Amino acid sequence: MTASPSAPAAPARSDIAGSLAAVVAAGLFGMLGPITRLAGDAGLPGIGMTAWRALLGTLFLAAVVVATRSGGETAAALRGLTRHGRTMLATAAVSGFVLNAAMFSAFGLAPVALVLMMFYTYPAGVAIVDVVAGHERLTRWRAAALGLSMGGVVLVLAGGAAASGAPQDVAAGVALGLVASASQVVFITASRSGYRSVPAPAASMLIMATAVLGAGIVAIIAGQGAGLLVPLSTPGLWPLILLAGVAAAGISSSLFLVAIRRIGGTRTGILMLFEPVVGVILAAVVLGESLSVAQAIGTGLVLLGALVLQRGAEPDLAPVVEAAAGPMV
């Protein structure tokens, strides 16, 4: 049978759609830093933003599960999880909460660009874990990428003296960015094969629901329980919360999954480097933040290191980014 002349166009359309989905998802994720800072200025603490964003994201994904009628499949998959699978899902949920709480708190303390660059050391962290665990070899690509990323971090930290804000706050924000990066490494490691039988929207919904519960508990323990109620008395916060919860959580996570399924994990990971670029640009335009020369060079090295890791990834490394939606799960 002779192939139709239009047959080869389908993969091209799929590539374009997948690439566009990844870029849009990255752009939506990139908005979170400036949104969090603006919400903080209006009285909503970082832990409060964590709770509200996760709540709206959970509701959005629950609607997706209902609309796709995948509730039965999800329940069966959860019942069929082994003890290891349940442990990995619980680990992913906890690390996802820590990741989000650390990032949203960091955005309120340090320049958005600094926090994002600390977070984007996670590809190097994943590579190190793979090498130590014996899953991957320390190839020239990975060694070069690790060197670039670490050199970039040093430059970013060295230029931190020029950052606005109290030095102790900036230092705390940078530290929280690194905590978020470590949490992302744990999240990805746990998500690679621990609970693949659970549909992605449902797994993400459970992880976000854990973030809602965790943020509420932490806020009460830290004496910030009243901060959770700020949106109820501040209507002006809702556009920011809706952007963070629906656009930069539910929609972006769904687009990220579409991208992975259409163009693969490695190519999606490369395009997701658009996220910190958007975050840095928006921070400059909306918040008036700027980078020193050393920080700008360091930022470029961190991104280049992440890019080299993706470009040098072997086929079996594709799942490295499949479980991660940038800083937000």
For 114-145, the pLDDT digits (tens) are: 888 888 888 778 778 877 877 667 777 777 87
pLDDT of 2 over the 50 cut: no
Q: Cα 206 from chain centroid?
A: 16
Which runs of consecutive H residues, i.e. helices, occur in 159-288?
A: 167-191, 200-221, 230-233, 238-242, 252-263, 265-271, 274-286
CA distance 289 to 112: 8
Report pLDDT for 158.
66
Which runs of consecutive H residues, i.e. helices, occur in 3-121?
A: 9-30, 32-41, 46-67, 71-79, 83-107, 112-119
What residue has token string 């949490």? 183
CA distance 184 to 100: 10
Contact present, 102 and 327 (Cβ < 8 Å): no
324: confidence class by pLDDT, cuts 50, 70, 90:
very low
pLDDT of 169 over the 90 cut: no
pTM score: 0.78
Q: How far is CA 39 from CA 46, 58, 230, 241, in A?
A: 9, 20, 10, 8
Contact present, 152 and 299 (Cβ < 8 Å): yes
The predicted model gives 291-298 an average pLDDT of 76
CA angle 310, 319, 31 (to 5 degrees): 70
